[in-house]
């Protein structure tokens, strides 16, 4: 087996929301596999957990030198996958905030009118 195709609409309606569904989908022998095509026809939504699981499965396949191609992918689905590929350590940024202890209403008014 050199090539394999997965046609998602044969297994799902128009959305995928379960991480377990993706794990089951990728439960196949990869020994002789060189290329995998995943057809997203009619899939209009995937959850963030599905996107993350999909990215993890893709990375496993890529580490085995298996080429993965997406076919007929919806723009929103592609965007969700791209978000899942980002480095989650840097996804949120924080800014310091100033905390002021105001013992009186007068001091609060003064602070707010600066």
Residue 63 maps to a domain: yes
Q: Which domain holds residue 57?
A: 3-88
Residue 79 maps to a domain: yes
Residue-wise pLDDT tens digits, 86-103: 866 555 556 676 666 767
Residue 113 maps to a domain: no
Residue-wise pLDDT tens digits, 19-58: 999 999 999 999 999 999 999 999 999 999 999 999 999 9
**CATH code of 45's domain:** 3.30.750.24
* Strand order across the beta sheet in which 3-7 lies: 3-7, 35-39, 67-71
CB 55 within 8 A of CB 22: no
pTM given for the model: 0.72
């Amino acid at each position: 087996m050199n090539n394999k195709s997965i046609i998602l609409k044969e297994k799902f309606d128009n959305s995928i929301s379960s991480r377990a569904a993706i794990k089951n989908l990728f439960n196949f022998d990869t020994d002789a596999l060189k290329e995998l095509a995943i057809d997203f026809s009619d899939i209009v939504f995937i959850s963030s957990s599905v996107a993350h699981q999909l990215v993890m499965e893709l990375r496993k396949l890529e580490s085995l030198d298996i080429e993965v191609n997406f076919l007929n992918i919806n723009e929103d689905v592609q965007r969700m996958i791209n978000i899942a590929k980002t480095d989650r350590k840097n996804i949120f940024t924080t800014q310091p905030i100033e905390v002021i202890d105001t013992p009186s209403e007068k001091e609060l008014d003064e602070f707010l009118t600066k």
